[in-house]
Amino acid sequence: MSSLIVQACKIEELYPHPNADKLEVARIKGWFIIVGKGEHKVGDLVSFIPIDSVLPKELVDKYQLSFLKNGNRVRSLKLRGTISQGLILPLPEGKFKEGDDLKDILKITKWEPPQTNSNYLGTRNAVSNKKKNPY
């Protein structure tokens, strides 16, 4: 099980989106995130929400994040041919510095895949994939 890190981070770089006039690509901690053009500038301190984070309904409604699917889970997505690897939101109310942990304040949790019984699946697949000799 991996841990979840939702931090206050500075935007390291901004690039024009190659296929959209109203979008830009921000780089934070080596990840590229698509953002609205003019919403941020290099050096802005923001909440960086990584892939496989699950946002509470209150945040989804507040920031109109209706594009989040599968239980408000942040996923890697491709928008107009460019990959976005996370989500940027404004910092919550209060004073924060770079590196501060925000997951509890924002009530963001880590997505975990559903548990499966691997023995059952392995047996079932072995039987169903076995070819019978017709002769």
Model pTM score: 0.77
* 34-68 pLDDT tens trace: 999 999 999 999 999 998 899 988 888 888 887 77
Domains annotated for the chain, with CATH where assigned, are: 7-128 (2.40.50)
Beta bridge partners of 2: none
* 118-134 pLDDT tens trace: 665 555 555 555 555 55
**Cα Rg of the chain (Å, integer):** 20
